[in-house]
């Protein structure tokens, strides 16, 4: 398996621009997670989906952030408009959740976002 795939790996944009981050989870996984990592705040969970349905978006910092999962193999995290304080590494992760509980969670390589 290719693992969790994220694109782009690096993104540099100017304040006010729209940014879209993409994630392809591991095939067969039904839970998908978006995290943000900064030096100051550590690893924060932004939102997660199960069977393509958003379960908890309480970690999304503000209305400028939105996430979608139109099918089991694709998710996006969008920031519009972007601000310098959004600069961080954004990780996508996936796992399988079933009646027996949760399997191991696997992380993608991350997208390093810099907003100038």
Nearer to other proteins (CB atom), residue 74 or residue 96? 96
Cβ contacts of 109 within 8 Å, gap of 6 or more: 4, 6, 9
Q: How far apart are CA 114 and CA 51, in angstroms?
A: 31
List the one residue from 52, 57, 66, 103 that touches other proteins (CB under 8 A): 103
List the one residue from 43, 80, 84, 116 that touches other proteins (CB under 8 A): 43
| Residues in 61-90 at the binding interface with other proteins, rule: CB under 8 A | 89
Q: How far apart are CA 38 and CA 87, in angstroms?
A: 8
Binding region for other proteins (CB under 8 A) out of 17-25, 60-68, 72-80, 91-99: 91-99
Closest CA to 42 of 85, 89, 77: 89
Burial of 71 (0-12, 13-18, 19+ CB in 10 A): exposed
How many residues in total does the chain contain? 116
Binding region for other proteins (CB under 8 A) out of 12-20, 50-58, 63-71, 72-80: 50-58
List the one residue from 33, 34, 65, 90 that touches other proteins (CB under 8 A): 33
Residues that bind other proteins (CB under 8 A): 31, 33, 42-43, 45, 48, 50, 55-56, 89, 91, 93, 95-97, 101-107, 109-110, 112
């Amino acid at each position: 398996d290719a693992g969790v795939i994220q694109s782009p790996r690096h993104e540099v944009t100017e304040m006010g621009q729209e940014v879209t981050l993409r994630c392809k989870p591991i095939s067969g996984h039904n839970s998908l997670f978006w995290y943000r990592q900064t030096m100051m705040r550590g690893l924060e969970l932004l939102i997660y989906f199960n069977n393509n349905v958003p379960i908890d978006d309480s970690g999304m910092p503000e209305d400028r952030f939105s996430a979608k999962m139109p099918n089991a193999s694709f998710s996006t995290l969008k920031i519009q408009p972007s601000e310098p304080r959004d600069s961080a590494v954004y990780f996508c992760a996936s796992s399988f959740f079933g009646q027996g509980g949760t399997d191991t969670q696997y992380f993608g390589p991350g997208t390093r976002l810099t907003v100038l």
